[in-house]
Amino acid sequence: MDDANIRNMQRMCGGDPQGKIHQLLDYTDRPGEVADPWYTGDFDATWRDVLEGCQGLLAQLAPGGGAEPPDPAAADALAGVETAALLNQLDPEARALFQLRYDEGYNAAELGQLFGQPPATIRTRLHRIRKHLQQTLKED
């Protein structure tokens, strides 16, 4: 079934010249098709295949164990700006959060542990801090 899905996706997309279409189990040490529970009757095997494939895909997307890539937009926005004066306008916790992320390289999961907040909340806070800094830069 996975092979048929790949063929259909390639047909709909006009091929796959960049090699972006993959089977889920390609991200495991045993490439192939996910067990089809409607044919095998084994829903547990399908669950294991999907779980292993998703874990492999996530590991490939975040090879540093969840490390987040640098934020080039933040670096570009702050190029040539007196960052100390700009960051001093933030409240101490926001300043610490921003500096730990962009100066020290902590990811959202690590910051979440430090600040006692979920990683999604950390990402939202960082987004708001960046927006605030952008607005401050526009005003100056």
CATH code for the domain of 83: 1.10.10.10
The predicted structure's pLDDT at residue 69: 53
SS3 call for 52:
helix
Q: Residue 73's pLDDT band (boundaries 50, 70, 90)?
A: low
Q: How far apart are CA 23 and CA 4, in angstroms?
A: 11
Of 79, 74, 66, which Cα lies nearest the Cα of 119? 66
Q: Is the pLDDT of residue 77 over 60?
A: no
Q: Is the pLDDT of residue 136 over 50?
A: yes
Q: State which H helix or E strand residue 5 sits in.
A: helix 2-13
Residues 76 and 135 occupy one common structural domain = yes
- Residue 67 falls within a domain, yes or no? no
Residues 76 and 126 occupy one common structural domain = yes
Q: Is the pLDDT of residue 68 over 70?
A: no
- Report the largest interatomic distance among the alpha carbons of the chain, rounded to a whole angstrom: 66
In degrees rounded to 5, what are phi and psi of residue 22? -135, 160
Residues 10 and 33 occupy one common structural domain = yes
Q: Which of 17, 41, 61 is the last residue of a domain?
A: 61
Residues 78 and 113 occupy one common structural domain = yes
- Residue 90 falls within a domain, yes or no? yes
Domain around 109: 72-139
Residue 93 tokens read as 């916790």
Residues whose CB is less than 8 angstroms from the CB of residue 1 and which lie 6 or more positions away in sequence, other chains included? 33, 34, 36
Q: Is the pLDDT of residue 63 over 60?
A: no
